A and B are shown apart, each in its own frame.
Chain A
Amino acid sequence: MTLARFVRSLLLAGSVICALGAPETALARPGIVALEKNQYLHGDFTLNRHLNGFSDGLKSQGEFVLVPATGLIWQTKTPFPGTTVLGPGGIVNIDANGERSQLGTGAAQFGIFVDLISSVLAGNWSALENRFHVEFSPPGDNTDIWQVKLTPFGESAIGGQITDIVAIGDDFVQQVRLNKPGGDFDDITLSAQQTANLPLPKDKADLLPKADPK
């Protein structure tokens, strides 16, 4: 059960990143592009994983697709191709040969993260505010850049895994930093973000998990 919570924490972190990568409703936060209900968001990412005590980090690049209420596709192109899919059914890793391996088996609880993403996209921060202290710095007079800092509650599941999350953006989230206990941190840069209408292209749609109908 502990692992389940741990995985959930990580999923939450990943979801939050992607959620922040998505545009928000204009009503929720000024400066963020609203994402309609039948739209999805796609773009490129660069992930720099810094490990405390080592000068060289782990750098990867690729594409992401976020479908509100359905899941997140994280496709690494370099240095090694591979896909991670986060959805209601858990985390699925798909290697370059198409082999799938599941982490966090069969637990519909992972749907919570998709719900969180949807909440963010809908401008409903309450889902995050239940788990994070949210400090939002709106755009200034001379800039469109806003910043949000999410600090997990001390007693939340994610609190043991994430120290805090800082995101900045304009129309879209541009950068996210996940600070972790022990001094490690991940820097994620999102670029070339665009919204598009559903349905997804078939190759992408096939990657997404199907929600457990039971």
Chain B
Amino acid sequence: MTGRHATIWILCLVMAAAWCAWQIGGGHTRIDADFISLIGQENPGDTDEFNDINAVRHILAQDSRRAIFMVSAPNRDRATNAAADLAGRLSWINGTEKVTTPDDRAGRLPELMAFLQPYAPVLLSPQDRKTLMAGNGEQIYQRTVQNLYSPASTVNARSLQQDPFSLLPQYLGALAGYMGEGGGVVSQNGRYYVPVVTSLDPRLAGSDRDAQWVSDANEVVATLNRNTDINVTRTGQVFFAAAEASHAKADVQRIALLATTGIVFMVGLVFFSWGPLLAALITLASGILAGITAITIIFGTVHAIAMVFGSSLIGIAVDYALHYVSIDPARGSAQQRLRLILPGLTLGLLTSVVGFAALSISPTILLTQIAIYSVAGLIGAYLTVIFLLPFLPVQPVRNYLPIRRSVAILQYAQYRITPPTWGRLSLVVVILAGFGASTFFIKGDDNIRNLGRGNTALIAQTNTIRQILGMGASPMFLRIDGPTAEDRLQTEEALRKRLTPLLANGALDGMVTLADIIPSQKRQTENIDLVKTGLYAPYGQKLAALVPINVTPPSPATTPLLLPDDASLHVLPELANLQSGKSDLVRLRGVQDVAALKTALNGMDNTQLIDPASAISHLFGQYRQWAYLALGVAMFAALLLAIFRYGLRDGICVFGAPAGAVLCALVGSFALGVPHNFFTTMALFLVFAIGADYVLFLAESRHSSHDQDTSLAVLLSLISSVLAFGLLATSSVPLVSEIGIVIAIGLIAAWVLAPVMAGRRSANPVGMENSLPQSTKQSPHTANSAPISKDGENNGQI
């Protein structure tokens, strides 16, 4: 490689860096850290399933924008004043869209009344409807008359003309009941509890700012809690997400610090030079840059999970640099040394690229993004090793270090235990059988509830708020399907009738449907008939005698029907929470008896009970299945490549190393109680890719004089990988810890298997049987510094 190649590649990297800065820095490509946005980006083909996920996404998006605080104090004034104080402080936090307290002005009410007043004859509360259907219009008339003279009457000049029987306030009263407790003050056990509901800026979700918002909000809460008689509790997805992220971030930072320190120390100790460290950093940076460039060219929005996994996977790229810098400089010029590792490097790249490309066979955007990021990143790192590393200064490994001797001893030990070809083939058969058996014994566990660490304090506060205010934490909901809005509304009316016994016996605390707010046209038509015949006909004239207006019966021909259209949505934006595409959503409060609910729903084909956690778990289960399939494809492709390169028997044996490593990781982690999910499957990918690199490099160097250099590089790679990924196993966050355990087991297994399966019995590279004592006495690099020009030529053919 010439300086011109290096210059061109540097220019490419600079342009890529500029592109990335422009795309991401300029906001042209968005880094999306919002977990919710991941859901429903693909069409699984199953319409029902797609609708479920879409509905879950819709619900979660709505809920993620809400944070609920509960202020309590020994007396009402103290509680309401503290709530007002809290609301004021919260409203100043960047990212707060709106804060609602019970004392907030009913600013929307005049607009709401004005909007609904023309529909008064068709909007009956369930109780009024029941009363009229029972022929007891007299009760409503009596109530109307009493209301005319009540000090708390809602009557005004306009309402008297449009709704002389004051039906609308009753309808709105029932509506408030459906909506829950109404967000009012609650008195319990001698204390007063005031809810403060905060709506968050939609742009906050998934951005870095949400953590800042939570931090600011926590500070406000802590300030108020300093008053001994005030207690503020809180709940909301944003708090749980921030708590989980905070734990994960702290763990990862600690581990990253340990890993970086360890790797720097290792490279510094082994090479005693900044050159190898620089080479590793440049290679890694180039890989990340290439990955980001590719992904930002193709996608307008990149998910953070794709970025994180992509970056982790191209951690393999560091191995490329280690293999180059581990070659003793005494073996020739930079180009000659490069040629020594080029076959292994190229084969390793090909295997990894095929493996990661297999991820893109899934219809999921996330896996496709990871695939593209990884493939581009690995190619970028490969090109950096080829074009740039030969121009960096190198130092030979310090021969006085125990690591050299350790490698020699280990190499000899591996040589001694390496079975003959039939033995290695038998091992491959055992590995394949192990995969077969694991499909029966190892079951996936995609429950997303197991991924997080859980925050007991937040969970306790959530339960308290739910018990006292009945707010928050209502994960289950119903999805109502139907070809038209009218069909869905009628289904919801039937649903309420069906679930009324559950509401009465406490199996269900509450529910709200779109039909509770906007009855079906069929019901509205029935209502106006009831009002005409049950109220206006018998009592219209009697009422007219009392009030200074003419009481005229409503005409079905001229009375409009209320529809769930844009006009309604404008006045009642809450309706958006009850609709998702072509489906309506029924929000449930306090599902105490799921079995009873499911039983009650039997036979209602258009009604689906959806548990968001289960739906998301199911989605990740599908991701896992796709990842398994991709892993299988990758392993098969690796097998073909190995057979093509090494022949049938040796190829199968070489394939056995990464396959065995994956199996060990799978079985070992299972034995340790690690649940297998999408994320641990992605960790298996990493094990496979790094394991393939180990065996390919060793296989390529097995007849060469730089064999021990390769063994050293593989050992250094193992140490760096275990430091980088294996330390994740110490994390307190289950997800992070599980990934770490899988990788640690897999990489150690790969390191053990690689030299065995690479067929090292075919040669005795260091002449250990006869010369071990001697070789350990003298400098290995001197001992192995045979002329390499022929090796380079022989092996640089791939």
Contact = CB atoms under 8 A, between A and B. Distances in A.
Contact of A6 (B109, B143, B149, B546): B109
Given A5-B109, A101-B143, A60 B149 contact: yes
Interface string B541-565: 0000011110000000000000000
Given A160-B110, A211-B187, A96 B142 contact: yes
A154 B104 CA distance: 10
A10 B179 contact: no
A110 B76 CA distance: 11
Interface in A75-130: 76, 79-80, 82, 84, 86, 88, 91, 93, 95-97, 99, 101, 103-105, 107-112, 115, 119, 126-127, 130
Nearest to A107: B184
A74 B149 CA distance: 10
Contact of A58 (B76, B77, B149, B186): B149
Given A51-B157, A54-B157, A160-B109, A14 B151 contact: yes
Contacts of A2: 106, 108-109, 112, 172, 176
A179 interface: no
Contact of A54 (B108, B172, B179, B548): B548
A155 B172 contact: no
B501 interface: no
A214 interface: yes
A7 B84 CA distance: 20
Interface of chain A: mostly helix, strand, loop or mixed: mixed
Interface stretch (A33-41, A141-149, A181-189, A199-207): A181-189
A76 B108 CA distance: 32
B94 interface: no
Contacts of A157: 102-106
Residue of B105, B112, B158, B188 with highest tally of chain A CB at under 10 A: B105
Given A131-B103, A156-B105, A108 B152 contact: no
A196 B539 CA distance: 41
Interface in B124-153: 139, 142-143, 145-153
A109 B102 contact: yes
Interface string A143-187: 000000000001111111100000000000000000011111010
Nearest to B106: A5
A99 B139 CA distance: 9
A8 B102 contact: yes
B103 A156 contact: yes
Contact of A49 (B105, B143, B149, B184): B149
B548 A182 contact: no
A79 to B, nearest CB: 7
B155 A49 contact: yes
A111 B181 contact: no
A140 interface: no
A51 B160 contact: yes
Contacts of B152: 7, 10-11, 13-14, 84, 86, 91, 103
A26 interface: no
Nearest to B188: A214
A79 B546 contact: yes
A52 interface: yes
A192 B154 CA distance: 28
A51 B145 CA distance: 16
Contacts of A112: 76, 80, 185
A160 B151 contact: no
B146 A6 contact: no
Nearest to B145: A80
A35 B155 CA distance: 33
Interface in B168-184: 169, 172-173, 175-177, 179-184
B154 A10 contact: yes
Interface centre among A2, A11, A101, A182 (most CB of B within 10 A): A2
Contact of A127 (B77, B84, B151, B187): B77
A131 B106 CA distance: 13
Nearest to B103: A157
A20 interface: no
Nearest to A212: B187
Contacts of A93: 143, 146-147, 150
Interface string B107-129: 11110100000000000000000
Contact of B106 (A111, A154, A160, A212): A160
B689 to A, nearest CB: 54
A62 to B, nearest CB: 8
Contacts of A53: 157
Interface in B376-424: none
A159 B102 CA distance: 14
B774 interface: no
Contacts of B148: 49, 58, 60
B228 interface: no
Contacts of B183: 1, 4
A8 to B, nearest CB: 7
B81 interface: yes
Contacts of B181: 107
B109 A95 contact: no
A160 B548 CA distance: 25
A44 to B, nearest CB: 14
B156 interface: yes
A49 B180 CA distance: 33
Given A105-B177, A115-B77, A4 B150 contact: no
Contact of A108 (B147, B177, B186): B186
B184 A154 contact: no
A105 B180 CA distance: 11
A150 to B, nearest CB: 15
Contact of A155 (B104, B143, B153): B104
Given A104-B173, A131-B103, A51 B548 contact: yes
B104 to A, nearest CB: 6
A97 B143 CA distance: 11
Contacts of B75: 115
Nearest to A13: B152
Interface in A1-50: 1-11, 13-14, 17-18, 47, 49
A64 B102 CA distance: 28
Contact of B153 (A49, A97, A111, A211): A49
B184 A109 contact: yes
Contacts of A126: 77
Nearest to B182: A4
Contacts of B158: 182
Nearest to B168: A3
A103 B153 CA distance: 11
A3 B103 CA distance: 13
Contact of B107 (A96, A131, A160): A160
Contact of A182 (B80, B105, B156, B188): B156
Interface string B194-209: 0000000000000000
A8 B103 CA distance: 9
17 contacts: A1-B182, A9-B109, A49-B148, A58-B149, A60-B148, A95-B142, A103-B152, A104-B176, A107-B181, A112-B80, A112-B185, A115-B76, A130-B81, A155-B104, A157-B104, A181-B110, A184-B157
3 A-B pairs with the lowest CB-CB distances in the bound complex, closest first: A109-B184, A4-B182, A60-B149
Given A49-B148, A155-B107, 14 more contacts: A2-B172, A3-B169, A4-B182, A4-B183, A54-B548, A82-B142, A88-B187, A105-B177, A111-B185, A131-B103, A159-B105, A186-B151, A188-B151, A214-B188
Interface of B: 75-77, 80-81, 84, 102-110, 112, 139, 142-143, 145-158, 160, 169, 172-173, 175-177, 179-189, 546-549
